[in-house]
Structure 1
Amino acid sequence: FFKGKVYKTMIPRNIRLAESPSYGQPIMQYDPKCKGAESYEEFAREFLINEKYRSRDVI
């Protein structure tokens, strides 16, 4: 039912992710090496790959 609509990448709860808005910084600027930032980066890759393949199906 949800095939292609649910991503595999999990974003963990992470204190650094919670702190970054308090400092007015995105996580990739505040602490790019924390587990949460790495997970968001992995999600972005997964999203872009999925969109690339979806775009091929549209044409």
Structure 2
Amino acid sequence: MQHVLTVARTMSARGIEHLVVLGDFGFLWPGRNWGIDIDKLSRRLKMTAQTLAFVDGNH
């Protein structure tokens, strides 16, 4: 989770508004409360006016 927030923050500082992840996102793992992580990521992206899209990999 932290790696995604770090990348979003860095890209926002550089004026990048759209984040596209191609392949294994590695964000939603079994056993985690990913609803909390999704909410946290959504709030961060909304604050920075960024959009995230991803193509699901084999995880």
TM range, normalised to the smaller chain? 0.3 to 0.5
Normalized per residue, the structure richer in strand is 2
TM-score under structure 2 length normalisation: 0.35
Normalized per residue, the structure richer in helix is 1
